Every structure is written in C-alpha cells, then in structure tokens.
Chains A and B, each alone.
Chain A
Amino acid sequence: MVDSGNAGCRKTLVANRSPLVWGIIMVGLLWTGMAFGAGNYDYIDINNPLLKKVPIAIPFFKSASGNGSEAETAQTGAILLSDTLSFTGYFKILDRGSFLVEAQKSDVAAPVFKGWTTVGAELLVTGALSLNNSQLEMELRLFDTYNEKQLIGRKYTGNVKDLRVMIRRFCNEIMGLLTGSTGLFESRIVYISSGSAGKEVYICDFDGYNPTQITHNQSINLSPAMSHDGKWVAYTSYAKGKPDLFIQNISDNRVSVVDKKGMGISPAWVPGKFELAASLSFSGDPEIYLLTGTGKVINRLTDSPGIDVSPTFSPDGNKMAFVSRRGGTPQIYVQNMNSGQAERITFQGNNNTQPEWSPKGDKIVYTALEKGGGFNICLIGVDGKGQMQLTYAQGDNESPSWSPDGSMIAFSSTREGTSRIYVMTAYGADQRKLMSMPGQQSEPKWSPGVTN
C-alpha cells in the first residue's frame, strides 16, 4: 500500500459481509492493427535479485466532457491504477508533474512517444472514459514507448462503482504480459487481528482494503489458511475450550470441527484438492495428518517422536515441507509424498520454522531465529541451497506467505512496536505496511481470490 494513498484507506470493518456481487462488466479488445508478439516482453524478471524498477507513466485519464464527476473519475482511475501497480514494487511510477503532455489534449490511442521517452517512461498507460449517470465506459491502453507499440488495449463498460474492479483487471493483464503470472490483484489475504475479547480471523483484499471479519466467537483464533479456490478457511480456535482445528465456509459460515483430543494446529491446503494437512496430537505426540476438507482424517504423513508441525505443499502436491524437532531443534524438512522419505534442508541456526513453498515451486520462505534474538524472514532453495536473509534487525519478522503468483511475500513485523502485516517483493525489496487496524495483526496467509 502506498503511503500517499492513506487518505483513501478504508479502515471500516464490515461484519458478516455477504460475498461481493460483481456487477456485469463488459470487456472488449481494442485492436490497433499493429500486431504484437506475445511473451516477448522480459521487462520484469522477478527471479532477478538486482531487478531495476520499470519506469511507467500513468497520466490522468481523458474525460469526454472534461468536467464534473466524470473528470474526477478520470483522475481517480489513474491514481487507482498507479497505486495498484506500485503495490507490486516492480514499477517506478513517474511523477505526473514532469509530464509534457496534457491528458485532455492527448490522443489516447496514438500517443506521441517521444514526449514520453523524454521524461524517462519505458511504459505508458493511457485511459479515456465517459460517464453517463452511473454507466462508465473506459478505454485503457498499455504502450511500449521505446518500441512505439501498443501492448494491451481494453474497453470496459459497467457501473462506475466497479471502477476498482476494472482497474484491477487491467493491471492483471499488465502483470500477465510482463511477468507471465496473473491473479495478484484478485487475491486475498486471511489474517488474525486481536481485539478486546480475543483474536479473530479476518480477510482483506491483496492491498489491505475491505477487511472482513470471518470468526465471531470472541475466543482465541490462530493460524488461518485459505483454500486455493478462496472458499474455505481452516484455523485453530479455542472456541470449544481447547485448540481445535475448524474449517469454515466463507460464504455461508458453516463450520466443521476436527473433534479429537489434544490439539489441531497449522492447517495447510493441498493444491488442487479439497484436502488439507495439519498437525494433530491425539496419538500423544504432534504429527502431521492428511484430512478431507470437512475434517476427516485420511492418513498420517509423519512418524517421528517430538514436534512435527507447519506443513506446506509444493505446487504439484508431490512434496511437503514441514517443521520437525526430530533432530533436536526445530528445523525444516522436505518430504516426498510418494516415498514418505524426509530430508532436512535447513542447517543454519537452531530455530527455523513456518516454511511456505513458493507457488513457482523453486523456493521456500521461512522464519529464522537469530543468535542475538529476533526473528527474520529467510529464503532457501527447495534443495537446501541458496539461503538468503530478507529482513534485518527490525523487530520480529515472522509468518511469511507468498502471493499466489509468487511475486510477493506478506509477513508480520513488530518493527513499529505493534505487530502489523507487511508486504515485500519476492527478493525482500520494498518492505511496507499493508494496513492498520485496532489491535495487533499477525499470521497473514495469501490466497487466490474467489474465481468468478
């Protein structure tokens, strides 16, 4: 979330919000007659640790009449778009004050590219809209200024209240073209926020907007995990007097409880299946089990004395990383789901926990306890090589979670004193606070949004 966007930051809690009903948005292609090759754009290589931010110009959109709420919407739309792209940390949004071209006088379909390369823009987004009552018609185009060609062109029609949705869809297309991954701007984050009566589960949009309370049991609720289709949340709750695993449907709130003695903790959904893994201690020792989406045990996945907790699956579901104390201290192991063989991958430090497997399949992010005290987020290859530290000497940084496209990491940090949710790029750049609510926020888990 860009700090300058604070004025627009809605912190109102919407209790029991019914699922957002998307208005009907018509999308059309804007064809310029110029062919552009697909997948030729390597502007953003998120695997490059020395990534340079791509300078992009997003002038205010052109409004048909030039006045009233239409002109306002033209400005809002452009700001929304810059905020959304700036969120990723991969773009340098150029200052509108330096622009040579005046929005209202420009040709949005055929811009004068020299006017943009002069101010340093490599990419340009132009927009034009007309607003009749609440009916919005908006054209958005992405250009490569140096190669002087249009990359994406879309026309959106719908209700003006769906402006944010339209902008996000366009940004999704931009990210898809430039990084090969989409879905970031439709994704949601489930997290915990503390209040006077305990800790409850909340969900917000990828950018921290629209926080919605999911649990209302006024108890202690922990470690939420949202299913990949965005429809279910599993979490640990003391609502029945002890730490039990709950699985809740987000739309109708029906809940299944894993009713076993001992505790049920650290749920993690299996990619592509209505199944999850969690650590249960009913056998007398915490082990990781595979469960159906309604909480029935399918089988046991780990078998070693001592704590086994915090499973996370590779995107193809063939491997599982988890935390085990079988070697004497909590370390991260990778288990082959077919053979059942587990291998330790962390050897630095004596407290490595909370692994999360990247949706791109190659890396695991986790929390490491430093020798001097203090927790930091680290990255390691799934083969145990290439260990890297992402946060430094700023409070406790824990609970990392990948965005569904693998381009960003959400985590909790106490660098300001109170625990808040932060985001950063996949290489640890651009660390900033996502949002702020009363109480302490923790344990974010990032998931694709509901697919519609």
Chain B
Amino acid sequence: MKRKYWVILAMLFIVPGLMLTASCAKKVTAKPEAAVSKTDDSAKKAAPVAPMDDAAKSAALAAREKFMKQDVNFAFDSAVLDATAQAILKDKAGWMKSNMDAATTIEGHCDERGTVAYNVALGERRAEAAKAFLVNLGVPAAKMTTISFGKEKPLDTAKTEAAYAKNRRAHFVLK
C-alpha cells in the first residue's frame, strides 16, 4: 500500500516538472525572433550613415504613432474582439515586442448609451480583453495596465451610430 502512495507522490512531482520543461521549450523557440531583429540591427549598423537613418527613423516614428492612434473597436454592449480588432492587436503586439522598454495603459471606453456605472464596468472588460489577447501573443502582462473611462471621454460627441462606433474602443497610451 505504501508503495502505491510513493508512486503517486512521485508522479505528482514528475508531471508538473515535465510540463515546466515543455514551457521552457516554448521559450527557446521564441528566441529565434529576437535573433532575427538582432541581424536587422547589425544590417543597419553596416550601412554607411548613423545607426538609424532618416527613413528608419520616420518608419519607427510612424509605427509608434500608429500604435497610439489606432484604436480597437467593439460592438454595442460587447467586449468581444472581432477579426479586425484581433488584427490590430496583433500589430500592437508586434510593436510592443520590438519596443521592450515601452509600457502602455490600455483605456476602455463606451458610447454614451447605457448607464454610467454599467459603462465603467464594460469599459474595463474591453481594456482587459485587449490586454489578455496581447498577453497570449507574448507581451508581458507587467508592461500593460488597464483603466476604464466608461462613457466619460467620448471621441465624438455626435449622436450618430458612426460616432457611437468610434467611441466604443480600447485606446493605447504610452506611459
């Protein structure tokens, strides 16, 4: 009888151990990406001018602008990320992973319909949904904080469907 318990106990340690090594394996496969960007950098370094030439500079600036300007939108009363939203978030994940010292605040917003408190809650769900998606794509959770502004900070105060659609957003602010 005691032997059985011993075996079970051993399994309890071995199985999680195996799982840990498996995830370590995942980390190993992530490294090639970093290696790729390193070769990019060295290619740039090989160029005759300063480390970042003007074209690369403006490209980097444009990417940063895009990160901040491009919002993720949502359907009414929803925190679900549709295909467009996911594509935008993939872009953002890419940017964050290439700019590892960047930290961002993800703001969740709602359109003006709907009651104040409920919208603060919904805005938080939207920000959290965007964050979770990015974490799944490998962006460290510690680099992102979320905040909801409910319906308090609309982009467009017109009372049209188009304006409402714009206001239902997750917005990224660099700290």
Residue ranges of A at the interface with B (Cβ–Cβ < 8 Å): 199, 220, 222-223, 236, 238, 241-243, 262-263, 265-266, 279, 281, 284, 286, 307, 309-310, 323, 329-330, 351, 353-354, 367, 369, 373, 375, 396, 398-399, 442-443
Complex: how many Å from CA A75 to CA B124? 56
The one of B113, B121, B149 in contact with A265, judged by C-beta atoms closer than 8 angstroms, is B121
Which of B113, B116, B124 gathers the greatest number of chain A CB atoms within 10 Å?
Answer: B116
27 contacts between A and B (CB under 8 A): A220-B149, A222-B120, A222-B150, A238-B149, A243-B147, A262-B124, A263-B121, A263-B148, A266-B117, A279-B117, A284-B128, A286-B124, A307-B122, A309-B118, A309-B121, A310-B118, A351-B77, A351-B114, A353-B114, A354-B115, A354-B117, A354-B118, A373-B113, A375-B113, A398-B115, A399-B115, A442-B116
Q: In the bound complex, what is the Cα–Cα distance between A396 and B117 (angstroms)?
A: 16
How far in angstroms is the closest Cβ of chain A from B130?
Answer: 15
Q: Which among A243, A284, A309, A442 has the greatest number of chain B C-beta atoms within 10 A? A: A243
Question: How far apart are B113's CB and chain A's nearest CB, in angstroms?
Answer: 7
Are A330's CB and B77's CB within 8 A?
yes
A243 and B114 contacting across the interface, CB-CB below 8 Å: no
**CB of B152 closer than 8 Å to a CB of A:** yes
Q: Smallest CB-CB separation from A264: which chain B residue?
A: B120
Name the A residues within 8 Å of B121 (CB-CB). 263, 265, 279, 281, 286, 307, 309
Residues of B near A351 (CB, < 8 A) are 77, 114
A284: nearest chain-B partner, CB-CB? B128
Nearest opposing residue in chain A for B128, CB measure: A284
Residues on the B chain within 8 Å of A375, using CB: 113, 115
Q: A220-B152, A242-B147 are in contact. Are A443 and B118 (CB under 8 A)?
A: no
Does B169 sit within 8 A of A, measured CB to CB? no
Q: Shortest beta-carbon distance, A242 to chain B, in Å?
A: 5
Chain A contacts for B118, CB-based, 8 A: 307, 309-310, 323, 330, 353-354
Q: Indicate if the CB atoms of B120 and A236 lie closer than 8 Å.
A: yes
In contact, A236 and B117 (Cβ under 8 angstroms): yes
Q: Which residues of A contact B124 (CB under 8 A)?
A: 262-263, 281, 286
* A284 to B114 alpha-carbon distance, docked (Å): 22
Q: In the complex, A416→B158 CA distance in Å?
A: 16
Residues of B within 8 A of A329 (CB): 77
- The answer for the CA separation of A310 and B125 in the assembled complex, in Å, is 16
**A421 and B77 alpha carbons, distance in the complex (Å):** 26
Inside 8 A of A286's CB, which chain B residues have their CB?
121, 124
- Interface positions, chain B 103-150, Cβ under 8 Å from A, are 113-118, 120-122, 124-125, 128, 147-150
CA distance A310 to B124 in the complex (A): 15
Contacts of B117 in A (CB 8 A): 222-223, 236, 265-266, 279, 309-310, 354
CA distance A279 to B148 in the complex (A): 14
Sample of 4 more A-B contacts, CB < 8 Å, known A279-B117, A353-B114: A199-B152, A223-B116, A286-B124, A310-B115
Chain A CB within 10 A, most for which of B120, B124, B125, B128: B120
In contact, B115 and A243 (Cβ under 8 angstroms): no
Q: Ordered nearest first, which 10 A-B pairs have the shortest CB separation?
A: A266-B117, A307-B121, A265-B117, A353-B115, A286-B121, A354-B115, A265-B120, A309-B121, A353-B118, A242-B147
| Contacting residues, chain A, for B125 (C-beta < 8 A) | 307
Chain B min CB distance to A194 (Å): 10
User: How many Å from the CB of A190 to the closest CB on chain B?
Assistant: 14
A64, chain B: closest CB distance, angstroms: 53
Q: Is B148 touching A243 in the complex (CB atoms < 8 A)?
A: yes
